Amino acid sequence: MAFEIDEPGLSTTVQDRGRLGYYNVGIPQGGSMDQLSAEMANAVVGNTAEEAVLECTYLGPRFRTTDSAVVAITGAPVDVKVNGESREQWTRLELSAGDELSFGFLMAGTRFYIAVRGGIDVPVVLGSRSTYTLGSLGGFKGRKLQAGDVLHVGPGTAAGNQGLDGIGAEQRPTFALEQSIRVVRGLYDHRLTEAGMETLLSATWTLTPVADRTGLRYSGPVIEWKPREQPFGAGSDPSNIVDAGYAVGSIQIPGGQEPIALHRDAVSGGGYAMVATVISADMDLLARSAPGTKTRFRAVTMEDALAARADYRAARSKLWGNIL
């Protein structure tokens, strides 16, 4: 069975839990930007957490299913339509052969997810079905979907599992226009003046429209760097360093203006000082930000970050009961 794409949407890609283990050779982990929402969609249709889903950005696709299919839509709030009639998010939808799935305007957030029982069947590349568009790697032909594409649905790995009956309102992630994002300082926070770090952690930052799978750029006050004689190999700006590996989620501030938080498709290294790093438990939250979102960066300790990671993992594993 397959989905026949009539309209691709702005940027619809196949994603899964990511391509781990190749960051050292410059291939980012990728995967669904909002992992929790994607995982919830899989849990509802009766997949495991492994199956690939469709990640839809701002403007959703329109497609037909060639056979009956069980799907679920999670993530950013959006009008879901089956043959033009409204349907719910966060629950199982039974489609019949020939049914058309389409979407209205996004009401908040940035990305929503479509899971189908059996998962989107594209080749596994370096251990993942995720699309890395900048490297033309994985997913459907290494690119976002286009009109006329035919996406096959796989047999899945959790045969016989009906899935959760839905995700209750209290369990769903929220898509607020104000966010508090936890960060750990470093690795190059010593390059900021005390006032500079104070500005980063006290200002309210506004997410600009320059935000995608590689990173999110914020507008706000200018950040002060310590002056120094730049070492050999570093650029001339005080925000430049001798090239170094970039932590996933790290924040750089080219020229001291407009911090950029790197996300799942970001490059693995470069020459901008990373002054702080978004903790792994808040990367999904960051991914839910729509342009205009007012954001505070709040510093936590490494211990707090690790505890938050463990809590987030535990919450996610609860979705799966005894399935996994």
Partner 1 sequence: MSHAIVSPLPGLFYRKPGPGKDAYASEGDRIEIGQTIGVIEIMKQFSEIRSDVQGVLTSFEVEDNGAVNPGDVIAVVEVAP
Residue 92 or 217: the one with the smaller Cβ distance to partner 1 is: 217
Beta strands in 2-61 (DSSP E): 2-7, 11-15, 53-57
Rounded to 5 degrees, φ, ψ at 189 are -65, -20
Place of tokens 């790697």: 137
Residue 221 or 291: the one with the smaller Cβ distance to partner 1 is: 291
The radius of gyration of the chain from alpha carbons, rounded to an integer in Å, stands at: 20
**Considering the complex, what minimum distance in angstroms separates the CB of residue 288 from partner 1?**
13
Is-contact 120 61, C-beta < 8 A? no
**Considering the complex, what minimum distance in angstroms separates the CB of residue 93 from partner 1?**
22
Residue 22 or 58: the one with the smaller Cβ distance to partner 1 is: 58
**How many helices (H) does the chain have, and how many strands (E)?**
4, 20
**Considering the complex, what minimum distance in angstroms separates the CB of residue 59 from partner 1?**
5
What residues make contact with partner 1 under the rule CB under 8 A? 10-11, 57-59, 105-107, 209, 211-212, 290-292
Is-contact 183 297, C-beta < 8 A? yes
Residue 84 or 123: the one with the smaller Cβ distance to partner 1 is: 84
Is-contact 88 50, C-beta < 8 A? no
**Considering the complex, what minimum distance in angstroms separates the CB of residue 111 from partner 1?**
11
Residue 33 or 183: the one with the smaller Cβ distance to partner 1 is: 33
DSSP string, 52-76: -EEEEESS--EEEESS-EEEEEEES
**Considering the complex, what minimum distance in angstroms separates the CB of residue 112 from partner 1?**
12
**Considering the complex, what minimum distance in angstroms separates the CB of residue 67 from partner 1?**
30
Rounded to the nearest 5 percent, the helix, strand and coil shares of the chain are: 20, 35, 50
Task: Give the torsion sign (CA, 164, 168, 170, 173).
Answer: positive
Residue 174 or 193: the one with the smaller Cβ distance to partner 1 is: 174
CA distance 195 to 2: 56
Residue 211 or 275: the one with the smaller Cβ distance to partner 1 is: 211
**Considering the complex, what minimum distance in angstroms separates the CB of residue 102 from partner 1?**
12
